[in-house]
Amino acid sequence: GQWDWMRDNTIHSTTWEWDNASPSDMWKHSHNEVHHTYTNVLGKDNDLGYGIMRVDEDQKWIPFYLAQPLWNFINACLFQYGIAAYDLEIGKYLKGRTDKEEFTRNGKQVLAKIGRHAARDYVLHPLLSGPSAASTLTANLTANLVRNLWTHSVIMCGHFPDGVQTFEKTSIEGETRGEWYLRQMLGSANISGNSLLHFMTGNLSFQIEHHLFPDLPSNRYAEIAPRVQELFARYGLTYVSGSLPKQVASAWKKVFTLSLPNTLAGKAITAASTISSRAA
């Protein structure tokens, strides 16, 4: 809804349908309503681990998490479909917390959209290319893979890197408006870089500003970022930010570390720190 103020029906949030496997109305619910309301609240915000990964030491460890580096890699390669599954809230359905009829209706909507996209990218476009059908098919597969990997990397940097805080459900009981803003500040992280990088990320590199002002046009984030940083400094808060390689590495480090029980994870962190200090 960042551009709704223009009152342009072609890009208005009530009519816009994006080129993604997940229908836009489902994304608006899972992202705009749920994620932005319950940012980084364990058990409430599915953006934390997408329901398949352990992203906090306070989360109970189960053997399933041993494979979470693999789950995360597969999710990265198929990210738009992972987003569709996330929007369907499959985990809630399997736990019996979602109406079966509603889930079935939403599932049919998602599958229909995936079918249309697959027919366009992998059937229609190659057929229209005639003798170049094979190269067109390869190009479309490659483009979608690269888009998935890039989008996954950018989005992981928003809430996974070191320094980002998570919150228990009990901590938001009676939460004031000011405390909600504080949670957005402490639960988000930025990617530092030049204007080209910010353009390539759709300005999601300014995740902190995005969570403080979700309906502000994203091209204005860079303008308000210095004022937000001043606010962090005034109250002694850590403005978590780093280069893209640093933030991606930090997020993946957490995925690997927390795939282990806390006792083993602690030993792994100690060993990694020792190796790093010796190398330095």
pLDDT tens digit sequence for 169-218: 999 999 999 999 999 999 999 999 999 999 999 999 999 999 999 999 99
Q: Would you state the structure tokens that stand for residue 80, as one six-digit string?
A: 């738009």
CA atoms of 203 and 154, how far apart (whole Å): 10
Asked if residues 16 and 3 have their Cβ atoms less than 8 Å apart, the reply is no
pTM of the model: 0.89
Residue 211 to residue 225: CA distance in whole angstroms: 12
215, 1 contact by CB (below 8 A): yes
> Terminus-to-terminus CA distance in the chain, angstroms?
47
Predicted pLDDT of residue 269 = 57
DSSP state at residue 63: G
Cα dihedral across residues 3, 154, 64, 80: positive or negative: positive
State mean pLDDT over 138-160: 97
Q: Which residues contact 264 (CB under 8 A, 6 or more apart)?
A: none
The whole-number pLDDT of residue 268 equals: 60
Alpha-carbon dihedral sign for residues 142, 143, 147, 148: negative
